[in-house]
Chains A and B, each alone.
Chain A
Amino acid sequence: MSTTPSAIQNGGRTWKLGENVDTDVLAPGRYMKFGIDEIAGHCLEDLLPQFAATVKPGDVIVAGRNFGAGSSREQAPQALKHLGVAAVLAPSFAGLFYRNALNLGLPVLVCEAAPSIADNLPCTVDPETGAVQAGGQAYHCEPIPGFLLVMVRDGGLLPHLEKQLAKK
């Protein structure tokens, strides 16, 4: 696999989650009136009470199908990004969440094998090629669609628009 070393995340551990993880549990409504610091501090608390306090930059979420079901609130992917989550791997994503995540620069990768990856394994992800190493084993994700890659490389839609507008 030919990749530039800089494209590969430094790596962290895996966090295993089930199917249909919803946006309400990622960004609980009762904290939605606050800023992202506060929301991120309660990310996933109804599922994994220790997650927000113990997740580290570079960690990777491996989940079941339809990750991000529910609301349009982009604080759901934003909370994960804010906590330093390097990527979310799942066999499928809720369409609205998928668009939001890439717009905010959080790599979300379609990975059929994600539910078979165990919890708490050392893990690295290359979002550009879809190459994953977890617990010493190699996995492959579908790469981010080409037409969105330019935006993702710019860091999301806002920095991408900033660049576009600067050109004009």
Chain B
Amino acid sequence: MTRPTQAQTLAQKIVARASGRATVTPGEIVTCQVDLAMFHDSSGPRRLQPMLERLGAKVWDPDKIVLITDHYLPANDDDSRKIIRIARDWAVENQIAKFYDGIGICHVVLPQKGHLTPGMFAVGGDSHSPTGGAFGAYMFGVGATEMLGVVVTGQIWLKVPHTLLMRWNNRLSEGVTAKDMMLHLCGRFGLDGGQYQVVEFAGEAITALDMAERMTLTNMTAELGAQTGLIAPDETTAAFLVEAGARGFEENFDIAIWQGDADAPTLATHEFDAAALAPQVSAPFSPANAAPVGNYNEHIDIAYIGACTGAKLTDLRAAAKVLKNKHIASGVELLVGPASKKDQDEAQADGTLQTLVDAGAKLLPTACGACAGYGEYRFGENTNVISSTARNFKGRMGAASSRVFLGSPYSVAAAAVRGRICDPRELLS
């Protein structure tokens, strides 16, 4: 590899490799070769196939495509069944070996199946595709037409991003999570604070996080309006990848080379004290309406633990810590939709799931559910909800009159017990 002539951020190093250059400069337009394209039932085949037919084109490389069904499952009406059927048929017709049907949400299944490695350049047909950045891969969301371009050509244009560095010093305290960090960042910087650049996370608090929590961070850089989020790979990343049997664009992934240069210029560097962070809650109708949980006292009707950003094994365990030997308040419904079958099986095996059920939780299928708001799981008129998901826009998860507060799995579980939003640390013994 040519020695870079100028200090490069991690984002620049990945984009440089993907565009066949030694170095790249923020702001320049480059064409990148895509290592992996992931899409789901909603953004994928049902949209792509008519365009492929119009062009008379074929997929550029079936081995580089991952298709995962999650948005319209369970398919309980004819329209949903049709969308899922199109996805299944398409996978067969296009010989997509990496097709995962009904085993969980795409952003979680993708790394669990070992398809992401550091240094990869990947696109996803979903806005939460920056989840892949937790593994040191440059992965961002695109719409279906742009995905069609990738599927046909294997290429995509990119404006080389600047990096906004978020350095979290010290460690999070008990009962405070990656979700709280992200809601705090949304509140401080707003839904466009990421400026469609790269948000990179670093510092002692980040190093201490497991991969599930890191995924929550990069996942929600979508809510910050970044193109993607990144966390440089370390031993924690490597351990996850080895367990997942990861095979990326290179046979043997290398965590050492996919690190930003210490002297690479950033657009901004922000420092935070993780130890001082309180649990955060975002009020309707924006993740940017964030404030410490102590500012809230709203009664809630539904507590929802779900989605790629809020129902991985780590999230389920957090909820179980709060709910152990307790029961949810009368009149409250606690809904839990694990992010993937693997997360659900592991939660089953270690007793986490039983703790949740004993506390009164109702188990939902491992799919996008109410977070996407595409299917039958939608909140009714005038319901107050606290949710571990990513977005609380008006009408997204239910009726326009429903009000969704966002919080960590700890905060959601605590609100379910008390029947109102409260500081989850009060319930952790």
Residue positions of A touching B, CB distance < 8 A: 20, 22, 24-25, 28-30, 32-34, 46-47, 65-66, 69-74, 92, 94-96, 98-100, 103-104, 147, 156-158, 161-162, 165
Provide the residues of chain A in CB contact with B191, threshold 8 Å.
20, 66, 69, 94
CB distance from B292 to the nearest CB of A (A): 22
Q: Let me know if B141 and A72 touch, CB within 8 A.
A: yes
> Considering the complex, which residues of chain B in the window 136-158 have a beta carbon less than 8 Å from any beta carbon of chain A?
140-146, 148-149, 152-153, 157
- The answer to whether B395 and A24 have CB atoms under 8 Å apart is yes
Q: How many cross-chain pairs have Cβ atoms below 8 Å apart between A and B?
A: 119
Contact call B145/A100, Cβ cutoff below 8 A? yes
Give the contacts of B353-387 with A (CB-CB under 8 A): 372-374, 378
Instruction: List the B residue with the shortest CB-CB distance to A104.
Output: B145
User: Among the listed A20, A25, A46, A96, which residue makes an inter-chain contact with B143, where contact means beta carbons less than 8 Å apart?
Assistant: A96
Alpha-carbon distance A34/B396, docked complex (angstroms): 16
A-B pairs, 9 with minimum CB distance: A95-B196, A74-B143, A29-B373, A100-B143, A66-B192, A72-B141, A72-B127, A24-B396, A46-B395
Which residue, of B57, B79, B83, B396, has the highest number of chain A Cβ atoms within 10 A? B396
Complex contact B142–A72 (CB within 8 A): yes
Q: Whole-angstrom distance between the alpha carbons of A46 and B140 in the complex?
A: 28
A58 vs chain B, min Cβ distance (A): 23
Tell me, in angstroms, the Cα distance from A65 to B394 when the chains sit together.
Answer: 18
Q: A94-B192, A99-B146 are in contact. Are A162 and B54 (CB under 8 A)?
A: yes
Out of A47, A92, A96, A158, which one reaches B51, CB within 8 Å? A158
Bound: A153/B54 CA distance, A: 19
**A158 and B146 form a contact (CB under 8 A):** no
> Roughly how many angstroms separate A70 CA and B127 CA in the complex, as a whole number?
7
Q: Return the contact of A30 from the options B56, B127, B373 (Cβ within 8 A).
A: B373
Q: A94-B192, A162-B55 are in contact. Are A147 and B157 (CB under 8 A)?
A: yes
Whether A94 contacts B225 by the Cβ 8 Å rule is: yes
Q: Which of B43, B47, B143, B288 has the most CB of A within 10 A?
A: B143
CA distance A28 to B143 in the complex (A): 16
- Is the beta-carbon distance between B286 and A20 smaller than 8 angstroms? yes
CB distance from B144 to the nearest CB of A (A): 5
A32 and B374 within 8 A (CB): yes
User: A residues within 8 A CB of B141?
Assistant: 72, 96
In the bound complex, what is the Cα–Cα distance between A22 and B288 (angstroms)?
13
A-B contact pairs, 5 of them (CB 8 A): A33-B80, A46-B395, A74-B145, A94-B225, A161-B152
Q: Which residue of B lies closest to A164 (CB)?
A: B153
Residues in A neighbouring B83, C-beta threshold 8 A? 33
Q: Does the CB pair B127–A157 fall under 8 Å?
A: no
Smallest CB gap from A65: residue in B: B192
Task: List 10 additional contacts besides A20-B191, A20-B192; criterion CB under 8 Å.
Answer: A24-B391, A24-B395, A30-B373, A34-B79, A72-B43, A72-B125, A73-B43, A96-B142, A104-B143, A161-B153
Verify if B29 is at the interface (C-beta below 8 Å from A): yes
Q: Which of A25, A69, A147, A157 contacts B395 (CB 8 A)?
A: A25
Q: How many residues of B contact A (CB 8 A)?
A: 49
Cα A161 to Cα B79 in complex, Å, equals: 30
Contacts of B157 in A (CB 8 A): 147
Quote the shortest CB–CB distance from B151 to chain A (angstroms): 11
B148 partner residues in chain A, CB cutoff 8 A: 157-158, 161
Tell me the nearest residue of chain B to A29, going by C-beta.
Answer: B373
B126: contacting residue among A22, A72, A158, CB under 8 A? A72
Contact yes or no, B393 A99, CB < 8 A: no
Judging by beta carbons under 8 Å apart, are B225 and A29 in contact? no
Contacts of B43 in A (CB 8 A): 72-73
Tell yes or no: B400 within 8 A of A by CB: yes
Chain B residues whose CB sits within 8 angstroms of the CB of A165 once the complex forms? 55-57, 152
Q: Is B29 touching A147 in the complex (CB atoms < 8 A)? A: yes
A106 → B minimal CB distance (Å): 11
What distance in Å separates the Cβ of A51 from its nearest Cβ neighbour in chain B?
Answer: 14
What distance in Å separates the Cβ of A17 from its nearest Cβ neighbour in chain B?
13
Are B372 and A158 within 8 A (Cβ)? no
Is B282 in the interface zone, CB < 8 Å from A? Answer: no
Task: Looking at the assembled complex, report how far the CB atom of A44 sits from the nearest CB atom of chain B, in whole angstroms.
Answer: 11
